[in-house]
């Protein structure tokens, strides 16, 4: 009997330690887990469905990552010091540095959408909106991304949807954002991606397909995420 009670208490303790944030419970039940998709679906997306991914990395392992996959400021820190601690990552987040936890790729991330995630008075994470615009060509993928420190781990989360083929014709609803030429879709200008982000925040009724669902899912997660029992706040 004592062994059973001890085992129960140990399991309860481990569950409490390992489940310090509630992000997995905030994802829409209709969204597909990227880890369960086929190779083709991972490369081309899943029609008419949001897709999400959650990756957990221990900060102690960052020194072993390939430098080019790390955010620039962490890569430089590890190069100079050989390692980086939780306290040092948090110090970077609470400085003027941006894109501390996820790498900034101009062709895929809208810099002006960047914001920080606070737990109480401490900055513990960051978020951004992204979509490919290489040469103003529309990639067809639209994604919200957030990363945050939870204990000794960094959680990387993104949720997106992808358009391809005839599905991209729903972009016709916003000719001031996109145009079609020779069968391919393009952003009207370099600022169009930010204009789209602004329309998403305003819940513009011209946004069709999964755009409203993506925004609703993102807002539910952003507004209800708790880290170690404390609800986060965001700052731009």
Distance CA 6, CA 22 (A): 26
Rounded to whole angstroms, the Cα distance separating 72 from 95 reads 15
pLDDT of 214 > 80? The answer is yes
Looking at residues 196-224, what average pLDDT do you find?
Answer: 97
pLDDT of residue 44: 81
Assess contact for 53 and 35: CB atoms under 8 A: yes
Whose CA is closest to 234, among 223, 153, 87, 201?
A: 223
Nearest-CA neighbor of 164 among 83, 64, 49, 77? 49
pTM across the whole model: 0.90
Among 96, 220, 212, smallest CA distance to 157 is for 220
- Domain tally, the chain: 1
Instruction: Name which residue leads in pLDDT, 164 or 15.
Output: 164
Question: Which residues constitute the domain of residue 95?
Answer: 2-235
Q: How do residues 43-90 score in pLDDT, each as one tens digit?
A: 888 889 999 999 999 999 999 999 999 999 999 999 999 999 999 999
């Amino acid at each position: 009997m004592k062994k059973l009670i001890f085992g129960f208490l140990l399991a309860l303790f481990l569950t409490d330690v390992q489940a310090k944030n509630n992000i997995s419970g905030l994802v829409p039940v209709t969204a597909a887990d990227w880890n369960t998709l086929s190779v083709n679906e991972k490369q081309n997306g899943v029609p008419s469905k949001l897709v999400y991914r959650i990756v957990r990395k221990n900060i102690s392992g960052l020194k072993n990552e390939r430098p080019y996959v790390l955010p620039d400021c962490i890569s430089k820190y590890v190069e100079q010091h050989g390692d980086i601690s939780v306290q040092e990552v948090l110090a970077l987040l609470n400085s003027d540095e941006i894109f501390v936890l996820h790498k900034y790729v101009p062709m895929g991330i809208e810099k002006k959408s960047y914001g920080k995630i606070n737990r109480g008075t401490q900055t513990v994470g960051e978020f951004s909106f992204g979509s490919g615009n290489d040469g103003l060509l529309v990639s067809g993928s639209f994604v919200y991304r957030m990363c945050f420190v939870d204990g000794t781990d960094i959680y990387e989360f993104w949720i997106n949807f992808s358009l391809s083929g005839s599905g991209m014709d729903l972009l016709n609803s916003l000719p001031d954002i996109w145009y079609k030429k020779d069968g391919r879709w393009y952003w009207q200008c370099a600022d169009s991606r930010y204009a789209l982000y602004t329309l998403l925040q305003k819940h513009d009724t011209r946004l069709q397909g999964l755009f409203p669902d993506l925004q609703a899912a993102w807002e539910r997660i952003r507004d209800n995420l708790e880290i170690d029992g404390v609800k986060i706040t965001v700052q731009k």
